[in-house]
Every structure is written in C-alpha cells, then in structure tokens.
Structure 1
Amino acid sequence: MNEVNREKIVSELKSIPGLKGIVGCSIGGNSMESAILLYYVAGELSDQELERVVRRVDDIEVSIHYNLREIDPVVHAIADCLDGKITIKHESGHPFGIVNSSYAAEIHYGRILWETPDRPITAMKKKLSAQEAYPEKLRQATIAYFMKEAALSLDNGHSSAMQGGIHYASGSFFQAVSSWVQVIHALNGKFLLSEKGGVKHANQLPITPKQFRVRVNQVYRYFAANNPKLAYCEIDMLESEMNVLVGSFAEAMEG
C-alpha cells in the first residue's frame, strides 16, 4: 500500500465512532504493511458506519484489508504477557490457535497511522518496551509452556503413528513444531505475529536447530510415505536439539 492510498484510508476510517486507533501491521511477516488493524471500544463501534466507509474506500478504487481488535482484551493480553501468563484461544481459521502474545507482537511491530488524543496504542507500546526489547517474564513463560506442549503432542502422536494413525501423528507433529516456533522466537527475543510462515522465520533466526525448515518438511514427507519410524528418528533429533538450545539458554541466564 502506497503512502497516498494509506492517507486516504486513514482519513476515511478515523471518523468512525468508537474507533481508538489505526495500525499498519504485516500479519504474515512481510516487510511491507499488508493489513490494517482497527482498535475499537466494545459496544461503541458503529458497524454500519464501518461498512459505509469501506464502501467509500472501494469507490475510490483503494483496496483495504483490515482486522478488528477490541482494545480492552488487547490491553489485558499485554498485561498477562508482561506477567508471564500464556494463553491460547482456539478459533476457526487458526489451526494452532491464537496465542495472547501475538496481540503484543502486533502492538510491538505495528506502525501507528492514527489514534485518539488519549494515545491508547502509544501507551501499550510504552508498556511493552518499558522493561526491555523483549520482556523476560514472557520469554521464560513462552519457553516453559510451549516446550511442555510440544513434548505432550509428540508423545500422543508417536503412540498413534505406530498403530497406523499417520493422520493423527501428522497433526500432533504440526502442534509440536508450532510450539517449537514459539520457543525459538522467545529464545531469540523476537515477538511472533502469527503461525503463518513461522517455520520459515524460525529457520532464519540465530538460535534454532540446524536446517530446521528442511528437516520439518522432511518429516511430513516421511509421514506421507507411511514411514513413521524414519519420521520419528528425525523428530527425536529435532526434539533433542530443542532441549539443548533451551538448556544452553538457561545456563547462560544463570551464568
């Protein structure tokens, strides 16, 4: 989206009652802002006015891709993250679920295009950055929570795979890898916006298993070939490397 179109969209959107902030954010991790996040107050946003504005924007041939964010739950999610509390909300279209830290990531990476005079988005950004670039309580909680989730998923999948349940095992592996992606980002002090493209992004970070993306894809090939033994040989090595990375990080923190 170019700057002229962005200004047109913002000038139209900011008049909507109940809207508190407009933020440009790359949901898929692309360096360009691919979506607009609209932060609003529950019960005050005018859906009819929003629809009218979107139609007006369409009439001037400017496409708009937006996502709504009720502001109070985002404030609470950030408070929980700073306090080391991890939650996942299961929602249609999100096979892994929405981790509360993703809302913090949107605030952290998002570019404020407009906000009300009380500056609620700026306030959330300041809370996130008040301690350090990546909150330590969030890092510790993410590592502990998702390493446990990964281990449980792999245990369940392994027993199923050896009985011919390749479909279930593949799903369990997906859950484990998605959990590892959360851990890898935390180890590197990076917020994770979405599970989409997570393996690719994790593969590019300094602290990550060797050839992470290639090996993850190889496991799916083994499952597709109905070869769970080879799949779990690779999975076991990946899990071992993840444990080493987490252990090395813990030692560095203690030292």
Structure 2
Amino acid sequence: MDQVTKIANRLADVGGVVAVCLGGSRARGTHTPDSDFDLGLYYRPPLDTSALRVLAAELTGGAVEVTEPGGWGAWVDGGGWLTVDGARIDWIYRDLDRVYRIWQQCKAGLFEVGTQAGHPLGVYSHSYAGEVAMGRILADPTNELAALQEQIQASYPQPLRDSLVAHARWEVPFTLSLARKGVTRGDAFYIAGCLFRVAGLLAHALHAQAGCWVLNEKGAVQAAGQLPTAPANFSARAHALFGALGATPDELATAINDADQLAADVLDNLSPG
C-alpha cells in the first residue's frame, strides 16, 4: 500500500491532476490478495497524458498504453492498466467538474444511464458521486476532493432516493409485461435481458432506500440482499432466475412469474418514491 500511495503522490504532480483516490474493493476493505488497485485520477483539462505515459513507463519498465480522456468511452473515460512489481494498478480518469455537475443533479433527484462497454446494465450517473463517497483519498494537495467527499458522505440525497424508487416502480412491471410477450416465441434471449434489467432495477432501488451507493453491476445483487429493506433470500431468488431459465414457454413463464413475485416483495416494502 505504501507503494500505491507513493504512486498517487507522483500522479498528483502531473498537470491537470487535482487528486488521486483509491476505489473499488481495496477502498472498501473487501479485497482479496490479488485484487487490483483502482486509482481514480480526478482531473481538469488539459490533462498531461504525455507525462502520464512517461511515469507509467518508469513504473513498469516498459511502454504502457495510457489513453487520452474519453479513450475508454463516455462514462469510464480513460486511463491505463499497469503492472508494478507484480501488482495490478489501474489508472481511471474522472473529470472533476463533471463529478460536481452530477452531484448537483443527484441532489435534485436527477440521474441518467449511459451505455458503456463492460457495463451491461449501463452506467448510472450517480455512481460518480458514490465513487467519491466510498473512496479513500491518497493525494489531494488542495483538499478539494476531500471537501467534496465530506459533502457527499454527509447524507444520501432524498430526491435521488425518491427518483430511483419511483423509476423502479414503473419500469419493473413494464419490463416484465414486455418479457411475457416473448414466452410463446420461446425468446429466451430477450426474456433473459428483461430479467437482468429487472434485477438491476430492484438492486438500485434497495440501495437507494437504504441510502447506500451502488457503483456497478458487479456484486450489486449480493450486496442488495444484505440490506435491511431486502426481502428474505433476495439474492438467492434473483440469481435463481438465471440459473435455470430454460427455453420452453412453460419454463420461461415460470421464470417471469418468479421475477414478478420477487419484484412485488421488494417494491411493496419500499417507501413511496
């Protein structure tokens, strides 16, 4: 960890970098020995990517692909994948002014979902705020990120909670009604997509109700099942929807019925949104 902190301090000296924050399982304390170190590089343009490439080559002993901003897509942004003395260290760009804008939207109850490779449910905009709230700041010379983190950690915005719960209330039954149209055709592909979407919406609603941030799909259902507002066996029931979906009309209809009951058990216990 000392090595990662030293790298963070060097990154903070690169032009455009305002602060560096450890994220992911390493920040939450849920990591395993082989987990990556995810370093969020909070920056303002222009970001000196040439200097980042020089530093990456020095740390790894060879050329490393370090992208320009936007090189990994509209939401993940960009960065680089490094291996330093056997440790995998990922640099992930975050435009700090964009994070501020999204935080203001969160407080107004606004969010959007963006298409992004590697995120089959989509990237929920409020994950940017969640990353700051759940991160561990390693380098922040001006204390700007620390001040923003203090704001976000103070309370989960009630308008955002209401919006996410309300969104699940209408989209979940709508999506399940569409899924039923694929039963007679045996369209397991489409129905599986609908069920995945429903499970994701329920996980987001449960997290919002509990005032907890969810950053992406990985582990979201498992984490949702541990929340106080989750119905009994939520995670097991959600995962079971996909474990034996089947392909016959009867099997597909049964899976949708199970999802419908799970959704009712979740949404009936949430406060109005």
Q: What is the 5 A alignment of 1:145-156? A: 145-156=167-178
- 1:73 and 2:91 are equivalent in the alignment: no
Aligned to 1:233: 257
Aligned to 2:70: none
Work out the CA distance in 2 between the residues paired with 1:167 and 1:234: 17
Work out the CA distance in 2 between the residues paired with 1:199 and 1:34: 23
Work out the CA distance in 2 between the residues paired with 1:26 and 1:138: 22
Aligned to 1:22: 20
Work out the CA distance in 1 between the residues paired with 2:101 and 2:126: 11
- For residue 97 of structure 1, give the secondary structure of its aligned residue in structure 2: strand
Work out the CA distance in 1 between the residues paired with 2:25 and 2:177: 31
- For residue 229 of structure 2, give the secondary structure of its aligned residue in structure 1: coil
Work out the CA distance in 1 between the residues paired with 2:224 and 2:246: 24
Work out the CA distance in 2 between the residues paired with 1:176 and 1:30: 29
CA-CA distance at 1:12 after TM superposition: 2.2
1:55 paired residue among 54, 57, 63: 57
Runs of at least 5 residues in structure 1 that lack an aligned partner in the other structure: none
- 1:157 and 2:179 are equivalent in the alignment: yes
Are residues 63 and 219 of structure 1, via their aligned partners in 2, closer, same or farther at CA, if it must alter by over 3 Å?
A: closer
Aligned to 1:102: 127
Aligned to 1:210: 232
CA-CA distance at 1:237 after TM superposition: 0.9
TM-score of the aligned structures, taking structure 2 as reference length: 0.82
2:212 paired residue among 183, 190, 193: 190
Sequence identity percentage = 24
TM-score of the aligned structures, taking structure 1 as reference length: 0.88
1:143 paired residue among 157, 165, 168: 165
CA-CA distance at 1:93 after TM superposition: 1.6
- 1:31 and 2:53 are equivalent in the alignment: no
Aligned to 2:117: 92
Work out the CA distance in 1 between the residues paired with 2:121 and 2:145: 27
CA-CA distance at 1:80 after TM superposition: 0.2
Q: Is the 8 A contact 1:182 1:192 kept in 2?
A: yes
- 1:47-84 deviation digits (Å, cap 9, x = unpaired): 11111111222236254212111111111111100111
Q: Is the 8 A contact 2:114 2:122 kept in 1?
A: yes
- 1:172-210 deviation digits (Å, cap 9, x = unpaired): 110111111100101111111211110111111111122
Aligned to 2:147: 123
Report runs of 4+ in structure 1 exceeding 4 Å deviation: 27-30
State the superposition RMSD in angstroms: 2.1
CA-CA distance at 1:8 after TM superposition: 2.3
Give the structure with the larger helix fraction.
Answer: 1
